[in-house]
Amino acid sequence: MFWYHKETKHSYDSVRTHPNQLSWEDQPRTYKNYPEHYKKRKIDLENSEESFLYYIAGLTAKKTYPSGEYYLRINPSAGALYPNELYFQARGVEGFEDGIYHFEVSTSSLTLLQPINETEGIEPYLGYQSAMKGYLFLVSAVYYRSSWKYKNRALRYCLLDAGHLLGSIEASGLLRSRSVEMLYNIDRERLNSMFGFEGREWILSGCAMATALPQQKVNAIEFSLPYVEGSGSFEPNTMIEQGYVETMQIRGCKRETKVPQFSYLQPRLKETLFTRRSQRGFEGDAITRTQFEYITEVLRQPIPSDCDEEVSVFMVVNKVLDMPLGLYKAGTYLKYGDFARQAGYLSLEQYSLSTQGAVAFFLTSKAKNYQALYQKAGIIGHRLYVASLYLGIGCSGIGAYYDDEVNAFVGNDEMVLYALAIGK
């Protein structure tokens, strides 16, 4: 087990003896905006070639609390802290100058950071030797946005949220009938340097929504962007930084080339993506077996990737019509019992979710490539959000749980990555 994961486990005692003390005056910003001298353009929501970008990470609603206003996005994030930023290269895309862009969430704008030509691009940093027509995405993390609240455990949340953002790219791509490939075997160190992140922001992954131009060889572009602040305040965290550096290199991967098959209707899917919300509690009503099987079939679909790590999905069935109560793994019935209250306890005693929900999920892995496996858990979590909400069922991600007690419950010693609950 990776030392960082082991050192950041929660237990019944740890959450009581080491409670988080938030310094509100140091709360970081959740938006990164490049200076106005960069060329920017608003996303045209009437243009389907551009609007699908908005359906990856655009703003959808505003919440007002005594502590201030919060804007919700299409992609979920732990604590609504949104540590991830989205960059992309567009090549041969109608209406776009070929170049490298940043998605400016606060204004729904695209900032051109670096033009490219036919002979150069970021393709070689992502493992491609020929030019790729379409979009090559990069997902980064401004880690202090998360560590401000979650302290040492924040790398877990940055990776999960990055997985959700990758899943959001996948889901939005369905609006244009485009498939994606997740990319983890990338040159993070060189990209971090060229983007001028100065150790406060890191590339976590890539994603290709593009087709190869085999007759068009491309060289690795060289550029140097100045540092642009992504959080306002900042406090370094040695454990998180060491955890990131030690997991930058990807080794011994297998590629997944199979393409997932979904049965979403595009107009309904579009509405689902825009109205996505995280459930804060369930009323305890049951879902049908047909709904449960639809959702689990979505979770079973392959995730195209250059580093496909195995993630186990355990399910605690609480309230599914015509299904026995108990613990399941990938459709296999493991043991009978009413485990609703236990699932709530394991989810850091969030009984309104994992106990009142129809199904609780626990994701674990014993794989070695930490960044890839954790982001895959986030992608699976995002698929669960989309499939559930598409059927009118609520969903909530739960990043905090009693690690070792979850292991004892499901019967393994793997790293516990994520908990989620769905219900009505």
- pLDDT (tens digit per residue) in 292-332: 999 999 999 999 999 999 999 999 999 999 999 999 998 89
Confidence check: pLDDT of 67 > 70: no
pLDDT 10s digits, 166-206: 999 999 999 999 999 999 999 999 999 999 999 999 999 99
The domain ranges of the chain are 3-246, 266-423
Confidence check: pLDDT of 71 > 70: yes
Residue 21: what pLDDT?
74
pTM summary value: 0.97
Please give the backbone phi and psi of residue 214, each rounded to the nearest 5 degrees, phi first: -60, -25
Cβ atoms 348, 10 nearer than 8 A: yes
pLDDT band (50, 70, 90) for residue 416: very high
Cβ atoms 383, 418 nearer than 8 A: no
**Who contacts 137 (Cβ-Cβ below 8 Å, separation ≥6)?**
86, 87, 88, 169, 206, 207, 208, 209
How many Å apart are CA 274 and CA 291, to the nearest integer? 21
Residue 68: what pLDDT?
67
Comparing C-alpha atoms, which of 262, 271, 299 is closest to residue 389?
271
Instruction: Read off the pLDDT of each residue in 29-42 and give the average, rounded to a whole number.
Output: 96
Residue 271: what pLDDT?
96
Of 52-66, 104-118, 162-176, minimum mean pLDDT range = 52-66
How many Å apart are CA 377 and CA 54, to the nearest integer? 23
Distance of CA 389 to the CA centre of its chain: 17
Please give the backbone phi and psi of residue 113, each rounded to the nearest 5 degrees, phi first: -95, -35
Other CB atoms within a 10 A radius of the CB of residue 100 amount to: 24
3-state secondary structure of 161: helix
- Whether the domain at 3-246 and the domain at 266-423 fall into the same CATH topology: yes
At the topology level, CATH places domain 266-423 in NADH Oxidase (3.40.109)
How many Å apart are CA 218 and CA 92, to the nearest integer? 14
- In this prediction, what percent of the chain has a pLDDT beyond 70? 99
Spelled out in words, what is the top-level CATH class assigned to the domain 3-246?
A: alpha beta
Confidence check: pLDDT of 18 > 80: no
> What does the block give as tokens for 44?
């045209």
